[in-house]
Structure 1
Amino acid sequence: MAPAHAQADEGEGAQGRIVFVTARRVAEAQDAVPISLVRLDATDLERRGVARLADLAGVVPNLAMPTVGAFGAQQPIMRGVFSPIGASTVGLYVDDVPVQIRSLEVAGNPDLRRFDLDRVEVLRGPQGTLFGADSMGGTIRVLTRQPQLEGLDAWAGAELSSVRGGGLGREVQAALGGAIVPGRIGARISAYHRRDAGVVDRFDPASGALLARNVDHDATLGLRFAVKAALGDRLELTPSLFYQRTARGDLPFYESSLGPFRQSASLRQPGRDRLLLPSLTARMDLGGATLTGVTAWLDRRNRQIVDYSGFFGEIVLGGMVPGIRTPGGSYSRTTVDQAVFTQELRVASADPQASVRWLVGAFYSRSRIAMEQGVVEPGIADLAQSQLGLSVEEIFGLPLLPGGQSYHSRQQIRERSLAAFGQVNWAFAPRWEVTGGLRLSHNPLRFRLMSEGPFAGGSNAVGPRRQSDTPLIPHAALSWRPGGDSLVYLSAGKGFRGGGTNGAVPANGCAADLSALGRAAAPDSYGSDSLWSYEAGVKAGLPDRRLRLSLAAFRIDWRRIQQSVTLPNCGFSYVDNLGAARNRGVELALRSEPSRRLALDFSLGFVDARFRRDVGPPGAGIVAAGDRIPYVPRWSGTMAAEYGFTLPGRLEGFVRTEWRHAGRFRRAPSTRSTAYDPRVYAGEGSDLLFLRLGIGRDGWHLSAFADNLLDSRTVLYRNAELVPATGSPLREMTQRPRTVGLSASIGL
């Protein structure tokens, strides 16, 4: 079994096979695209142990996916362009359909699984000209396998794994596709179920008795069905349906006071996430051009339960009674609903060899996001009486809401986007090409907010209010091919992200924190932010393709950054536009094939992302010039070696080992920031080792693997539960412990 062609940015395989990407919405050889990108096909994803979207961060330098906030939402960071609130800074596409979401500090992007995929493309740098406003840091494209009009394709696989100190994980998936009417109608259906074992045990907070083991397990079910129909010689229709449902047994966090993998939550903290994505793609041959239309509907619901049993003690008692909890427990119940309709039409020139190639298109989307949160704690009446000798109404001036709720809020955001875009590639001289692109969009937003209850300081309502942006997003590139498959390029492009709304912040309870920032009240909304990115890159290799190199250097100037402002004493936060930043960095990928059976890969990323000026009144310490953007590791990289071999009985095998590094980071801009907490400030770097061994023959394959072979316990997530200013125990999460397993597959 020959080594898989993995991460290196190469446009052709060792046997001369041209590798295509659709990074610019048309099929092109990867070497010819003036973008820093990573392409991972299905074999790469399997051999590198990429089982879910979050795993990409380990194999793509300058891509990170930290876990942030009290709810543990994951948001992608590319090239240091990150803020954990508002619209995503990285676009996420399933085929040609955007699926990213505004975080609302609760729900992150859907955690897509490796399920009947053709490939994943990671495009670094702003991609807003072709992919819209939420791609200012880059875009991740998840491309599924499509139905074929000829032949038959069947595949099935299974996996069994064991995690150290935890339970057993398992996975089964199968796909069947082929022609129904040869040359005219084809279909593909696939199904997937995966259960990841838990490692965290839950103990009774009063007695210390073990209540349940491995509570943080999760299970995912995926289904996909697609039909392709050729209607005549020019028109092709592909309706498809994608469904994914994930159920979490509990949060994967443990308490620092108890030690690794031990928590004492008063209640279970389950979560559910459901994604339904029907779409219709139409392609028509217009002779000298191709018309593509994509219509889609995204329906997603995310539900979470989080233990809030320490909430009252933190807010009211200020941590004076360590470990105090609401009798009977209390919890936050949060639901986020997302419904998005999208329609895109684009026309692209058909001749890839023409000196002038062009693409024009139009895009429309209509979305609704609704979030509802309630904190249910009927036992706080007894707690208030026992600790303070007062009733809830005497403390807050308000009674509990019906159902024992101390806090209830609703947010509703409705957005529309109407855009026109285009791009032209002109080969104005031999070996030289210039690219110019432009996107004009109009993005109106309407929002309504409501909060009530004693912890909200009464009933508060904002809206309906409106805001809109009409950004112009340009992009330009100049490329030169000095010979062979080499490419040298320069590019510049703009990135843009729309504004949004803040939840209600009680003016009375947070008056002191707001006053320290020079505010009488928190803002109801925040504006858009934008950036300019400048990049220079080279892609080159030896004539026999035994050595390939990809190198890119970039600078990003980011202004009016959307960032969260922490109010350290009252437990709330809001979003504001905080100054400017400059990100500088490089990306390097090397692939060497010294022999037909041996492949060596090396990749490295570096980014220095810093704020450029002070924000806030003197001494307030929101952001100071020179502070680093939080959650951004400066260094990341991988090294891998893969060797293929032959065994008796015509068996082909491989062995692959890979080392992955992610550097240290900070969870606040600096020690001067209002968000600074010495217990959680420093984020640890990580070093992981992976090993995989496989054999196969005539369509079947068997593999053994060990992920995190050295059992690294780097703390990835550290959060001061609810109120950073008090002494509540930290919630932490480490790397998943060493996991070993077997996988098998058979295909036609």
Structure 2
Amino acid sequence: MKLHAPVVATLLGLSLHSPSGQAQDTNQTGGGLEEVIVTATKRSESIQDVPVSIRALGEQELRRMGADSLEDYAGVTPGLQLTGTRNNSQIIVRGVTTGPVNHDQTEIKETVGVYLDETPIAVQRYSPNLKLFDLERIEVLRGPQGTLYGAGSMAGAIRMITRKPQLDRVAGEVRGMMSSTEHGSASNSFDAMLNVPLIDDVLAMRAVGFYRDVGGFIDNVATGDDDANSELSRGGRVATRWTPNETLTVDSLVFFQQSDFRAISQYAAEAGELKTYVAENEPVHDRNLIVSLSATQQLDPLEVTAVGSYRRKKLQYFSENGTFTNFITGFRDGLGGTFDNRSNQRDYSFELRAASKSDSWLQWTVGAFYEDRTNFYSQDYTVAGVDAVAGIDSRDFDANIDQLYFSNIDVKENQVALFGEVVFPLTDALKLTAGGRYFRAEQQADITFLGVFAYPNIGVGRFKNDEDGFNPRVNLSYAIDRDRMVYVQAARGFRLGGTNEPIPQPACTADLQSRGLSNAPDSFDSDHLWNFEVGTKTDWLDRRLTVNVAAYKIDWKKPQVTDQLGCGFNVFVNAGGLDIYGAEVETIVRPTDYLTVRGGAGYTDSTLNEDLVFVGGREGDRAPYVPKWTYSASLDYTRPLGQSFEGFAFLSYQHTGARDTRFNPSVAASRHLDSYGLLNARIGINAANWSVELFGENLTDELGEIDKRYNPYPLTPATYVTVVTPRTVGLEVTYRY
């Protein structure tokens, strides 16, 4: 499907879709666009007054889109891309990536911070994909956020802001959905929210629950299991708000989500479209617990905020790798074999900060941050009867009987940081923002390898990595008038380094030498980038039209690069460098009181500025998974139908450009991903207490490719493809009180 010309013409003519953040609920009763308040700077400000590139999605826009998870809103956010599978996605902002991250590459850190309220939850590809019911808004901050948000936010940050308990009213909402997916099975979901004041104007509770039974659409022809990639997710959260007096607010949150996938959402291209022939289904079990407590005390000259958080994630997934078994048995009496992969993450964090009041002449924020993180990962490859067939005794390699391989990687990280930011009003119109963050981090990895496939690196090894640094940010903004502002900024982003796992010799010697290494380093360093940006935020036509534009250049030196060797082990190094040029245009217009039209486009040119031998990259090669162009457009028409009802119609289109999965498209491991577009629509009726909606997602039934990789290790090696969900149509009913 090709809508390039109409969409580009619209963007150039009246500019459509979500501005940088101007996507909060718009004023539906008439007049201009509603002001959007965000807390990206850890102070409440109008998004049009914040001189950084932000995309904010309010509750109404999320509802219109039918957004239920990260994948649903990524397509309407220029500069944001995803790769991976339905259960675990790798997040890319502004082309800051050196390639895919596998599930077993736990040592490498994230480049994009993800937060639930103020709790950091990002762990590279293991970041929880949380369900989005009853959110106030989502803020996507593009560009380094190293000053206020720290390590892991070197390319940007995503903040999911939950609705807080209301102290003065009982409220509730229930929502049910049924849908059917082309080539697959039916889905249904149920959401509920209850808000109850426990002590009027002092203490309230808000409870949210959700249930998702998502049908699959990939058939396993080897096992005869149709629609194998189904999902069952359930969970909820309980929040309280306590205001014992006018100056103190205490919020608590407990969130739990449990997701089970019968199989990974990928098919084997060699088996046919939406079919796979993996010898065994590869289920995934994901558990997430988040607990937070925050207190804000208003004082005469300032406000003080303390936030404590705890996060726990348990992930188990299975991967069929029968080729390893065949190799050890000499391809006699193939027994198959499945890796049992387990991840157990635990994270404590605490932040204490003070900030000036919003009406102060000098705006400032200072604070301290502490984090204690544990990331435990293990693999167990036990195949019943393999010792007898192969003529070996796994106990000779310190393993159990029939245990060909076992590993534990236990990474402990402690980080402390001091940060601050101040806004100097040089004149009434000109403001200078300057900030910085000092950090110190200590990491220790205890690694255990056992079994014949680990030989000769059998036993326990300990690796340590300590580092510190300072990351500044400078921003200069000029208010042309109350509706137009321009800004320039330079910001440094960073990501912590880590430790390597021991690499068996001589099994991996040839692989290392082909990548320019004689042996694997014990650790790899943190990497840093500089983002230079110019932007403008403008309102026109009595604030019925918003146009926001940002252009940037990113200089990324010695990025962390990872790859899986042919011998099956991972290596992490600092090598190469990237130059990234890009721009984002986001607009929203309300030509009538009933119609809201949004549009957005992103351009990213992320290329190597030198050869990157480690992954076969050449100077000038484009970064993997990063399309040059993305754009989106939507129309939201809402009109009263008599005194008691209103009807609405919503139409949106999202386009993702072509990409390759490796720097050098000619290397054997690289695959090409074609461009694709998604057309979605909703139509419905709203009343005071209820609504009914019909919806269609991916109406043209495009199997847009998100990822594509060749896996040589299953019993039947294949090119495995991850695609968007095929055409889905359904009915949603909501009741509110």
TM-score (norm 2): 0.92
**Which residue number in structure 1 is paired with residue 264 of structure 2?**
251
Q: Of the candidates 209, 232, 257, which is equivalent to residue 191 of structure 1?
A: 209
**Which residue number in structure 2 is paired with residue 612 of structure 1?**
609
**Which residue number in structure 2 is paired with residue 326 of structure 1?**
334
**Which residue number in structure 2 is paired with residue 207 of structure 1?**
none
Matches within 5 A, 1:642-653: 642-648=636-642, 650-653=644-647
> What is the letter of the counterpart of residue 81 of structure 2?
A
**Which residue number in structure 1 is paired with residue 503 of structure 2?**
505
Q: 2-side partners of 1:316 and 1:123: how far apart?
A: 52
**Which residue number in structure 1 is paired with residue 112 of structure 2?**
90
Matches within 5 A, 1:137-156: 137-156=155-174
Matches within 5 A, 1:14-163: 14=27, 15-16=31-32, 17-67=34-84, 73-83=88-98, 84=101, 86-103=108-125, 108-163=126-181
> What is the letter of the counterpart of residue 735 of structure 1?
V
2:686 pairs with 1:668? no
> What is the letter of the counterpart of residue 583 of structure 1?
I
Deviation (angstroms), 1:722: 4.0
> What is the letter of the counterpart of residue 332 of structure 1?
F
2:174 pairs with 1:171? no
3-state SS, counterpart of residue 470 of structure 1? strand
2:383 pairs with 1:377? yes
Q: 2-side partners of 1:326 and 1:114: how far apart?
A: 45
Output one character per residue of 1:289-341: Cα deviation in whole Å (capped at 9) or x when no partner. Answer: 11110011111111111112233347887xxx8xx9932x3101011111111
2:355 pairs with 1:348? yes
3-state SS, counterpart of residue 550 of structure 2? strand
**Which residue number in structure 2 is paired with residue 387 of structure 1?**
none
Q: Structure 1 residues 119, 325: CA separation in 2 closer, same or farther (over 3 Å shift)?
A: farther
Q: 1-side partners of 2:243 and 2:87: how far apart?
A: 45
Q: Structure 1 residues 521, 315: CA separation in 2 closer, same or farther (over 3 Å shift)?
A: farther
Deviation (angstroms), 1:594: 1.7
Matches within 5 A, 1:264-303: 264-303=277-316
Q: 1-side partners of 2:21 and 2:183: how far apart?
A: 40
Q: 1-side partners of 2:690 and 2:501: how far apart?
A: 54
2:696 pairs with 1:689? no
2:199 pairs with 1:181? yes
2:371 pairs with 1:365? yes
Deviation (angstroms), 1:623: 2.9
Deviation (angstroms), 1:663: 0.9
Q: 1-side partners of 2:473 and 2:389: how far apart?
A: 60
Deviation (angstroms), 1:353: 3.2
Matches within 5 A, 1:508-657: 508-568=506-566, 570-616=567-613, 622-648=616-642, 650-657=644-651
3-state SS, counterpart of residue 426 of structure 2? strand
Q: Structure 1 residues 251, 554: CA separation in 2 closer, same or farther (over 3 Å shift)?
A: same
> What is the letter of the counterpart of residue 559 of structure 1?
K
Deviation (angstroms), 1:566: 4.1
Give me the identity figure in percent. 29
Deviation (angstroms), 1:190: 1.1
3-state SS, counterpart of residue 51 of structure 2? coil
> What is the letter of the counterpart of residue 708 of structure 2?
R
Equivalent pairs, count: 709
> What is the letter of the counterpart of residue 349 of structure 2?
T
> What is the letter of the counterpart of residue 133 of structure 1?
A
Deviation (angstroms), 1:622: 3.2
> What is the letter of the counterpart of residue 410 of structure 1?
N
Deviation (angstroms), 1:443: 0.9
Q: 1-side partners of 2:500 and 2:273: how far apart?
A: 35
3-state SS, counterpart of residue 684 of structure 2? strand
> What is the letter of the counterpart of residue 69 of structure 2?
R
- Root-mean-square deviation over aligned CA pairs: 2.4
> What is the letter of the counterpart of residue 465 of structure 2?
Q
Q: Do the aligned partners of 1:571 and 1:722 also contact (CA within 8 Å) in 2? A: no
Moved more, 507-516 or 239-248: 507-516
Q: Do the aligned partners of 1:452 and 1:458 also contact (CA within 8 Å) in 2? A: no
Q: Structure 1 residues 671, 657: CA separation in 2 closer, same or farther (over 3 Å shift)?
A: closer
Deviation (angstroms), 1:601: 1.4
**Which residue number in structure 1 is paired with residue 250 of structure 2?**
237
Deviation (angstroms), 1:524: 2.6
Q: Do the aligned partners of 1:115 and 1:222 also contact (CA within 8 Å) in 2? A: no
Higher relative contact order (CA 8 A, sep 6+): 2
> What is the letter of the counterpart of residue 621 of structure 2?
D
Q: 1-side partners of 2:226 and 2:258: how far apart?
A: 23
Q: Do the aligned partners of 1:326 and 1:377 also contact (CA within 8 Å) in 2? A: no
Output one character per residue of 1:38-92: Cα deviation in whole Å (capped at 9) or x when no partner. Answer: 1101211121122112322211111011017xx9842100001124351100000
Q: 2-side partners of 1:574 and 1:348: how far apart?
A: 43
Moved more, 352-361 or 29-38: 352-361
Please, which runs of 5 or more residues in structure 1 have no aligned partner?
205-209, 385-390
> What is the letter of the counterpart of residue 113 of structure 2?
G
3-state SS, counterpart of residue 43 of structure 1? helix
Q: 2-side partners of 1:613 and 1:566: how far apart?
A: 22
Q: Structure 1 residues 92, 621: CA separation in 2 closer, same or farther (over 3 Å shift)?
A: closer
Q: Do the aligned partners of 1:338 and 1:369 also contact (CA within 8 Å) in 2? A: yes
Deviation (angstroms), 1:723: 5.4
Moved more, 270-279 or 226-235: 226-235
2:333 pairs with 1:335? no
Q: Of the candidates 1, 6, 9, which is equivalent to residue 20 of structure 2?
A: 9
Q: 2-side partners of 1:547 and 1:32: how far apart?
A: 16
TM-score (norm 1): 0.91
2:696 pairs with 1:719? no
Deviation (angstroms), 1:398: 5.9
Deviation (angstroms), 1:380: 4.3
> What is the letter of the counterpart of residue 7 of structure 1?
S
3-state SS, counterpart of residue 447 of structure 1? strand
> What is the letter of the counterpart of residue 726 of structure 2?
P
Matches within 5 A, 1:726-745: 728-745=717-734
Q: 2-side partners of 1:220 and 1:397: how far apart?
A: 40
Q: Do the aligned partners of 1:326 and 1:380 also contact (CA within 8 Å) in 2? A: no
Deviation (angstroms), 1:458: 3.7
Q: 1-side partners of 2:212 and 2:52: how far apart?
A: 34
Q: Of the candidates 684, 690, 697, which is equivalent to residue 700 of structure 1?
A: 690
Deviation (angstroms), 1:9: 2.9
Q: 2-side partners of 1:702 and 1:398: how far apart?
A: 66
Q: Do the aligned partners of 1:312 and 1:325 also contact (CA within 8 Å) in 2? A: no
> What is the letter of the counterpart of residue 255 of structure 1?
A
